[in-house]
Amino acid sequence: MSELFENGPGNPTDAARRAVRPVLRRRFYATVGTAPVAEGHAVELDGKPLRTPARRVLAAPNLALADAIAAEWDAQRELIDPGKMPLTRLANSIIDGVADQREPVAAEIAKYLGSDLLFYRATSPAELIARQQRSWDPILAWAAQELGAQFACTAGVTHIAQPQAAVEAARAAIPNDPWRLGAAHVATTLTGSALIALALARGFLSGDAAWAAANVDEDWNMEQWGRDELAMQRRDFRFAELQAAATVLAATSG
């Protein structure tokens, strides 16, 4: 496992770069399953518990999530491709990294509340401004109503200070459970927005809606200038990472 998956929360963008040309190992197991353990539900290969790079049991907090991780392993054929196993990578990061450093991880998310993507709007063209408003304003309205966090926006990239009360109110909504915290951290890093991540964690946004909100500007630019193949590969990798985070948040919402 340590040769297949890297340890720690990491940066999904860096992971995307590393995944472009992964070193693939042959599948070494015949069956995949799950079993109840003290930590929850472990993923098993040939009846033996799968372990993280730090040699901890790879166990999800509930059966549904364990089954989803197991499905990634079962989907591997002759070769094991870690680039196609975003839930496993996220589980490793949470178990080996986030669980032991919840405060620093939460602090990383909180940093985005002072300069969130949603606060800084385009000055032109009119269609892009309108797209940002349609996608981002409902999230800000949700934060104001549900979190009691009223943030300010500005046109351009000049820094705008946010009300401390708003930052503190949103900071209080950051999950403490390591699985939800780890997923929120990934969502924040991928989207550049703690508010998108919190809206995803609270069920206000779906994974697809969170992705669309995070990529308003990029989608606009692709419409104007076209698509680059390598950039699209990285984008697909990031999309899978966000979907994995959304899966964890949905599976642990109860």
pLDDT for the residue numbered 56? 97
Domains of the chain with CATH codes? 12-96 (3.30.2180.10), 102-251 (1.10.3580.10)
pLDDT for the residue numbered 17? 55
Q: Residue 13: CA atoms inside 13 Å, Cβ hemisphere, count?
A: 6
Q: Which residues of the chain have pLDDT under 50?
A: 7-9, 19
The DSSP output letter for 37 is E
Backbone angles phi, psi at 125, to 5 degrees: -75, 175
* CA 232 vs CA 35, 137, 173: distances in Å: 38, 27, 33
Provide the greatest CA pair distance for the chain.
59
pLDDT for the residue numbered 23? 76
pLDDT for the residue numbered 11? 57
- Angle at the Cα of 233 from the Cα atoms of 108 and 183, rounded to 5 degrees: 30
pLDDT digits (tens, 9 = 90+) for 5-30: 654 445 555 555 554 556 789 999 99
Contact 216, 161 (CB under 8 A): no
